[in-house]
Amino acid sequence: MTALFRFCGPLGDLSAGDRRLLVERSRAPHTGIRERTAVILRRVRADGDSALLALARELDGVSLAALEVPRHMWRAALAELTPGLVRAMQRAARNIRTAHEAQRPQPSEVEVEPGVIVGRRPDPLHRVGLYAPGGRAAYPSSLLMAAIPARVSRVHEIIVCSPPTPRGVPSPAVLAAAELAGVDRVFAAGGAGAIAAMAYGTTTVPRVDRIVGPGNAYVTEAKLQVASIVGIDCPAGPSELLIVADATATPDIVAREVLAQAEHDPDTAVVVVAIGSATGAAVVSAVSTLLPGATRRAIIQAALAARGGVVTVDSLPDAIEFANKWAPEHLLLSVADPGAAFTQVRNAGTVCLGESSSVAFGDYMTGANHVLPTGGLARSYSGLSTLDFVRWTTYQRVERGAAIRLARDVATFADAEGLAAHAGAASHWASLAERSPSEEGGEA
């Protein structure tokens, strides 16, 4: 057990250091990453397209004929995919669209007192930039998860940046997803350079209003460094999963979820909170049985040894209390009554109710968004949604009679804050009441 998982045994028996390491997963970027990212941002801001072309040669080992990828290449990439993959991607796109259309922000208006109207209107962003990873692996699903909600939100223009392959264009799967999602432009640019291009704008790559999408440590750091001039989504780190399992859980199913999440990356965090020692032991045994046959066995072993755990607690309330403290990206409730348990969950990027609600289904096909907060940020951030692609315009309308009724209290408030001109602006309406009492409609 100890050789397989970093954290083992009863949760209460963990040392203070292990408990802190288990919960506090967010890590500050290495100084070298921060500094190298800053250099790349300055290069792109100063030299634009030429810096992007140079970075492609230096970091991707490819000489680009052009930064922008023409649409006919997206269509060709889609045509070259196997029919089964196209069908799966189309189904995913439909479900993502259906789910996010139901979540489209709606305007609201309220009359807070007679004649005083306050409202809020969602206005689509003009242009957004999506980052699609394409280094060690390409994730067309992530592009669908970002592009379709943006389109549902009626964003005027959607652009995509993704690293070039040796062919000088992004991964065919990413290009195919761009075609299916209906984005407007695609550029062969990756890493921190792509983030800089979208944040500052170059001759070829237009400046955007918000940048979203997952990426490596350099992409995440670049997004943080440009956040003062452009909107970003939640900064994402390595993937993570917390499973709460009781005696009704099927150990084999729980183990498969552990392996599925751990195969992402050696830095992935996967923890099972088992209710009772027998449940914990059964899960460990199932993982040990399945691991030798895993294709990405080395990555899984590294992840479990560094951040993996099977810890036991005495009750479901204890498990949920820990889950809220851990604030996972994904939370799988493999318990007898997942619906009841869910009512007590407060901090999670997404919650999968019951063991048949595999995290893999959410990653690809349910329509729920899989771009989610990690590193405990689910305590304050939500997953990507249509809300990320609008800004809210508030408005207020005060009718003449209401202005007269508000005037005296507003002037009193302003005088207390030493803002005489504010008080004067309000008092003007109070004076109207003195001249035209019939318009006052009540006490001034």
Q: Specify the number of domains making up the chain.
A: 3
- Residue reference for tokens 């004929």: 65
Segment 127-149 shows an average pLDDT of 90
What would the pLDDT profile of 143-188 be if each residue is shown by its tens digit?
Answer: 999 999 999 999 999 999 999 999 999 999 999 999 999 999 999 9
Give domain status of residue 394, yes or no: no
Q: Is 443 exposed, middle or buried (0-12, 13-18, 19+ CB in 10 A)?
A: exposed
**C-beta separation of 69 from 160 below 8 A:** no
Whether residue 435 is predicted with pLDDT greater than 70 in this model: the reply is no
The last residue of one of the domains, among 172, 200, 233, is 233
Q: What is the pLDDT of residue 387?
A: 96
Where residue 250 falls (left for φ over 0; alpha for ψ -120 to 50; beta otherwise) is: beta
* Residue 110 CB neighbours (<10 A): 9
**C-beta separation of 274 from 247 below 8 A:** no
Whether residue 441 is predicted with pLDDT greater than 50 in this model: the reply is no
What's the pTM?
0.91
Whether residue 28 is predicted with pLDDT greater than 70 in this model: the reply is no
**C-beta separation of 180 from 89 below 8 A:** yes
* 47: its two tokens: 């030299």
329 is catalytic: yes
**Whether 241 and 366 share a structural domain:** yes
**Whether 103 and 222 share a structural domain:** yes
**Whether 250 and 358 share a structural domain:** yes
330 is catalytic: yes
What would the pLDDT profile of 6-23 be if each residue is shown by its tens digit?
Answer: 999 999 999 999 999 899
What would the pLDDT profile of 251-299 be if each residue is shown by its tens digit?
Answer: 999 999 999 999 998 999 999 999 999 999 999 999 999 999 999 999 9
User: How do 330-334 and 240-245 pair as beta strands?
Assistant: parallel
The last residue of one of the domains, among 233, 264, 286, is 233
pLDDT band for position 135 (50/70/90)?
low
**Whether 101 and 178 share a structural domain:** yes
Q: CA of 242: how far to CAs of 11, 173, 255, 331, in Å?
A: 14, 30, 12, 5
Give domain status of residue 206, yes or no: yes
Give 236's contacts (C-beta < 8 A, 6+ positions apart): 214, 215, 220, 371, 372, 373, 374
Q: What is the CATH number of the domain that holds 54?
A: 3.40.50.1980
Q: What mean pLDDT is reported for the chain? A: 93
Whether residue 123 is predicted with pLDDT greater than 80 in this model: the reply is yes
Whether residue 247 is predicted with pLDDT greater than 80 in this model: the reply is yes
Give domain status of residue 365, yes or no: yes
* 196: its two tokens: 């800089």
* 430: its two tokens: 């109070």
- Residue reference for tokens 């019939």: 438
What stretches of 165-276 show up as alpha helix (H) in DSSP? 172-181, 191-200, 217-226, 251-262
Query: Catalytic pick from 100, 330, 355, 370?
Result: 330
pLDDT band for position 237 (50/70/90)?
confident
**Whether 351 and 376 share a structural domain:** yes
CA atoms of 330 and 211, how far apart (whole Å):
23
**Whether 189 and 325 share a structural domain:** no
pLDDT band for position 195 (50/70/90)?
very high
pLDDT band for position 1 (50/70/90)?
very low
User: How do 108-113 and 116-124 pair as beta strands?
Assistant: antiparallel
Lowest mean pLDDT among 7-11, 26-30, 197-201, 226-230: 26-30
CA atoms of 189 and 197, how far apart (whole Å):
9
* 244: its two tokens: 């709460």
Residue type, position 266, single letter: P
Please state the φ and ψ torsions of residue 62, each to the nearest 5 degrees.
-140, 140
* 27: its two tokens: 């890590």
Q: What is the pLDDT of residue 80?
A: 95
**Whether 284 and 214 share a structural domain:** no
Whether residue 442 is predicted with pLDDT greater than 60 in this model: the reply is no
Give 105's contacts (C-beta < 8 A, 6+ positions apart): 122, 153, 386, 387, 390, 392
CA atoms of 247 and 251, how far apart (whole Å):
9
**Whether 180 and 263 share a structural domain:** no
Give 74's contacts (C-beta < 8 A, 6+ positions apart): 175, 176, 178, 179, 186
Q: What is the pLDDT of residue 346?
A: 96
Give domain status of residue 97, yes or no: yes
3 state DSSP class of 372:
coil
**Whether 246 and 136 share a structural domain:** no
- Rg of the Cα atoms in the chain: 26
Give 175's contacts (C-beta < 8 A, 6+ positions apart): 69, 73, 74, 77, 78, 169, 186
Query: Catalytic pick from 329, 399, 417, 422?
Result: 329
238-248 b/e with 16+ CB inside 10 Å = b? bbbbbbbbbee
**C-beta separation of 171 from 80 below 8 A:** no
Domain containing 412: what range? 399-440
Whether residue 443 is predicted with pLDDT greater than 60 in this model: the reply is no
* Residue 425 CB neighbours (<10 A): 14
Segment 308-331 shows an average pLDDT of 97
**Whether 202 and 135 share a structural domain:** yes
**Which element (helix H / strand E) includes 95?**
helix 83-101
**C-beta separation of 73 from 185 below 8 A:** no
**Whether 180 and 123 share a structural domain:** yes
In 3D space, the residue among 211, 212, 185, 182 whose CA is nearest the CA of residue 93 turns out to be 182
3 state DSSP class of 361:
helix
* Residue 138 CB neighbours (<10 A): 21
**Whether 200 and 248 share a structural domain:** no
DSSP 44-67: HHHHTHHHHHHHIIIII----S-S
